[in-house]
Amino acid sequence: MKLKVGVVGATGYAGAEICRLIMGHPQAELAAISSVSFEGMALSQVYPAYRAFCDLVCGTEDEVLEKSDMVFAALPHGLSQELAAKCDTAGKAFLDMGADFRLESEGEYREWYGGEYTDKALHEKAVYGLPELFREQIKGKKLIANPGCYTTAVPLALAPALENGLIESTGIIADCKSGVTGAGRKPTQSNHYPELNESFTAYKVASHRHTPEMEQTLSKLSGEAIKLTFVPHLLPINRGILATCYGKLMPGVTEKQLREAYDARYGKEFFVRLLPQGETANVKHVRFTNFCDVSLFTDPRTGTFVAISAIDNMGKGAAGQAVQNMNLSFGFEETAGLLLVPPAF
């Protein structure tokens, strides 16, 4: 019998992508979906590409909970805690695509998101779902906080260098570019076509809400408090994250040592592809997949380390990683439903 999966917020980009992946999963089936904006409409009406694949009608949140063994919540921050509590009481697995369970510190959540933890005991049950870094903690867990796009791309780019003490823990810069789907489906002035097309700009400079989450992950791995400078940019493309991360090399560290550390961390990982020396990660090569491509460089003149990662922000940066976490939670093959070949052009 297949795992029955429900998606709350199924008509947003991340929710619709989860639905697409579950449709192709060998051990799970889409049992119920909900959407406040499109209640009563079939998913295939909202996304005509899904016609004949998914004609489920968007119902209510309670209907999703009733019909599902596992609930994915693709909701804005602040809206998942009550649903997570209902799932916990009902014995249903819950994965939050938003930020409500990502930060361990309620003070940081209050500072960056303006919210409160409504059930502190529930937050203590939550695990952070970045499998390549925290796999053992995720296995079998039923309340998972799914990292977002930047918070996946940056830690995967920097983790081996920091946890092996190969770069300094201060002065780290994450210079990132995102496709416009990262802004969500609701139209705004900044993602209006005439504003976005033939444009390239930074936004939320040194003030983006993903900053404390990235610092939390990197601090855990390095064993000391990490602060970084994070500057995101908006690309005029649909999908993709390119994270170019800079750090200061520790004295005497060579590119060979760095590559050995990254090989040791990612050599057996299916979804992280460490590129050969001299090759540069490109968002085009990871589209529609759960892959993260990583390339490494050093600048001996300045003693600078450069790590570049590329992911699909809707794949490894959202829905793909969510399905990977579901697989770990229920003991499925980790790659199940995710063996998608990137288009070559």
> What is the C-alpha to C-alpha distance for residues 181 and 1, in angstroms, rounded to an integer?
34
H or E stretch covering 6: strand 3-8
Q: What's the CA gap between 330 and 50, in Å, rounded? A: 26
Cα-Cα-Cα-Cα torsion 155, 97, 114, 150, nearest 10 degrees, comes to 30
Q: Which residue has the higher pLDDT, 180 or 190?
A: 180
Q: What is the pLDDT of residue 182?
A: 83
Q: Label residue 185 by pLDDT band (50, 70, 90).
A: confident
- Whether the per-residue pLDDT at 194 is higher than 90: the answer is no
Q: How high is the pLDDT of residue 62?
A: 95
- pLDDT above 80 for 187: no
Contacts 24+ apart (CB under 8 A), 99-104: 99/148, 99/209, 99/213, 100/145, 101/126, 101/143, 101/144, 101/145, 102/128, 102/145, 102/147, 102/151, 102/213, 103/212, 103/213, 103/216, 104/216
Residue ranges and CATH numbers for the domains of the chain are 3-146+316-330 (3.40.50.720), 150-312 (3.30.360.10)
Answer whether residue 191 shows pLDDT above 90: no
| Annotated active-site residue in 149, 176, 245, 292 | 149
260 versus 180: the higher-pLDDT residue is: 260
Task: Please state, in angstroms and rounded to a whole number, the distance separating the CA atoms of residues 252 and 203.
Answer: 36
DSSP 8-state class, residue 276: P
pLDDT (mean) for 177-189: 85
Average pLDDT over residues 207-225: 96
* Tokens at 148, concatenated: 């977002």
Residue 249's pLDDT is what?
Answer: 98
Say which amino acid occupies 192.
Answer: H
Q: Tell me: pLDDT of 252 over 90.
A: yes
The model's pTM: 0.96
Residue 265 has pLDDT above 90, yes or no: yes
How far from chain centre, in Å, is Cα 137? 17
Edge-to-edge strand list for the sheet holding 127-128: 58-59, 28-34, 3-8, 70-73, 93-96, 143-145, 127-128
Mean pLDDT value across residues 118-123: 93
Confidence bin at 229 (pLDDT 50/70/90): very high
Tell me if residue 19 is catalytic.
no
Q: How far apart are the first and last CA of the chain?
A: 38
Of the candidates 170, 174, 166, which has an alpha carbon nearest to the alpha carbon of residue 246? 174
Mean model confidence pLDDT for the chain: 96
Q: Summarize the confidence of residues 207-211 as an average pLDDT.
A: 95
Phi, psi of 15 (to 5 degrees): -65, -45
Task: Give 52-74 pLDDT, tens digit per residue.
Answer: 999 999 999 999 999 999 999 99
Q: What is the mean pLDDT of residues 323-335?
A: 98
Report the range of poorest mean pLDDT among 12-16, 198-202, 292-296, 325-329.
198-202
pLDDT at position 188: 81
pLDDT (average), residues 40-45: 96
